[in-house]
Amino acid sequence: MMTISRMISALGVLVFVLALVVGCSGDGEQAAQPEPAAAEQGQAQTEAEASDEDASPGPLKIGFIGDLTGGLAEIGVEMRDGFLLAIEQVNEAGGVFGRPVEFVIGDTNTDPTIAVEEARRMIEIEGVHVIVGAHASANTLAIAESVTGPAGIPQISPASSSPQLAVANDDDFLFRATLNDEVQGPALAQLVREQGYTNVGVIYRDDAWGQGIADAFEASFTEAWGGEVVKVAVAPQQTSYLSELQQTLTNEPEALVMLAYVPEGSIILREAIEHELYELFVFGPTSRNPSLLEAIGAEHLGGMHGTAPGTAPGTESALLWEAAFIGRFERPYGFPYTKQVYDAVVAFALAAEAAQSTEGAAIRDQLRRIGGAPGLQVFADVGSIRLGLEAARNGEDLDYEGAAQSLEWDEVGDLASGYVGIWRFTDEGGIEDTGVIPYGE
């Protein structure tokens, strides 16, 4: 049995041990806690970093809507290549807001309904800030009036030329990097008259583009050149156009002016030749396509001329871009609008940097500042784009001398100047550019 003295002694030891444990525990908790001043400083720093991140614009996201399948697919695929080259070069130049530009690609299949769906997907799901596209005027018009205009999303079409776009209900969010057909139609009329024709038949695609360029051509050819025109609309996807061709013969025309896409154009030309209705042709821009020549043959089309959107001949910017395109894709570009797609991307990058914002109206309001003189000249080249982005960030005016031409926009988003190109099919089975008709110089 433990004595009283031993119990007291043991109790003392126990009290000592407990005191030691409690003391050590208190020291550990105090060491784990930061000093009050350090804690407040760390919290303030974290809040400041979060505030800076919120204030900085997010990465710019650009959508491309093109005809990657359907009647304009060959042109659309190369337009996509021009888009990708621009994205790569802008990012190599440092990106926008110091961040890589992001992108989304959509296919319209040359269908306005699909085009609208793709535009909505890009804006509502993918979160794009701007859109490059579409190709066909009917698609661009549908997107601008139904989607981008109401949503306040800037849109630059590299290819849509219908006069209807100039009066679209788009709240000034629609621009284009190709000339209005109010310019291209008269240039085609000039070419037709220079070929020696005074009386022609016209077959045109029954859509916004075909109607616009056919009307502009007819007005100029009859009023400015004193010619005669019989024009007939055609619907796409017919198996025969013989009836429409015969309707154009009422005034015994000397040549046929064809304003159609390659799928229907191939049928129209074949029937015109096989039925000996026409031997001579003049073409609009959609016919500048090797597939049409392959379908009909150089023996029938060799020496025949046409018009297409032109580019500034031999400029520093054009030469730099052409070398870069060959270096990236190991082939020269072959279709209209490829340069224009590239220019639209670079224009958006410069405008967003100038605005220091991804907000649609802010970017739109800078487009006219970066597109024309006066200002720092920016070329279609990585080094020049880098300098342009820095200048835009510093609030300087820019003059983007694009791969195709300078982008000087008027009050409705149309180009104030540009070029219409003249080309022809060769007897050897190729396509060659033979000149340009300047506009607005």
Give kind and range of the element (H or E) at residue 385. helix 382-393
Eight-class DSSP state of 111: -
Q: How far, in Å, CA of 23 to CA of 19, rounded?
A: 6
Q: Which two tokens stand for residue 17?
A: 């041990």
Q: How far, in Å, CA of 217 to CA of 215, rounded?
A: 5
Q: How far, in Å, CA of 62 to CA of 123, rounded?
A: 10
Q: Which fold has domain 182-308+421-439?
A: Rossmann fold (3.40.50)
Q: Where are the domains of the chain?
A: 61-180+313-417, 182-308+421-439
Q: How far, in Å, CA of 322 to CA of 344, rounded?
A: 16
**Phi/psi at 45 (5° precision):** -65, -40
Longest CA–CA separation in the chain, Å: 139
What is the pLDDT at residue 71? 85
Task: Convert 140-177 to b/e letters by CB count within 10 Å (16 or more is b).
Answer: bbbbbbbbbbebebbbbbbbbbbbbbbebebbebbbbb
CATH number of 61-180+313-417: 3.40.50.2300
- Tens of pLDDT along the chain (441 residues)? 443 333 333 334 333 333 333 343 434 333 333 444 444 444 544 444 444 445 668 899 999 999 999 889 999 999 999 999 999 999 999 999 999 999 999 999 999 999 999 999 999 999 999 999 999 999 999 999 999 999 999 999 999 999 999 999 999 999 999 999 999 999 999 999 999 999 999 999 999 999 999 999 999 999 999 999 999 999 998 999 999 999 999 999 999 999 999 999 999 999 999 999 999 999 999 999 999 999 999 999 999 999 999 998 889 999 999 999 999 999 999 998 999 999 999 999 999 999 999 999 999 999 999 988 789 999 999 999 999 999 999 999 999 999 999 999 999 999 999 999 999 999 999 999 999 999 986
Answer whether 61-180+313-417 and 182-308+421-439 agree in fold: yes
pTM (2 d.p.): 0.86
Q: How far, in Å, CA of 204 to CA of 259, rounded?
A: 4
What is the pLDDT at residue 50? 43
What is the pLDDT at residue 299? 98
Q: Is 19 helix (H, G, I), strand (E, B) or coil?
A: helix
| Residue type present at position 41 | Q
What is the pLDDT at residue 374? 87
Q: Which two tokens stand for residue 239?
A: 């198996």
The four Cα atoms 202, 205, 206, 207 give a dihedral, to 10 degrees, of -130
The residue whose two tokens read 């031999």 is 314
Q: How far, in Å, CA of 250 to CA of 152, rounded?
A: 49
CA–CA distances in Å: residue 400 to residues 22, 180, 361, 408: 75, 20, 20, 9
| Residue type present at position 371 | G
CA–CA distances in Å: residue 367 to residues 172, 250, 343, 440: 11, 48, 12, 19
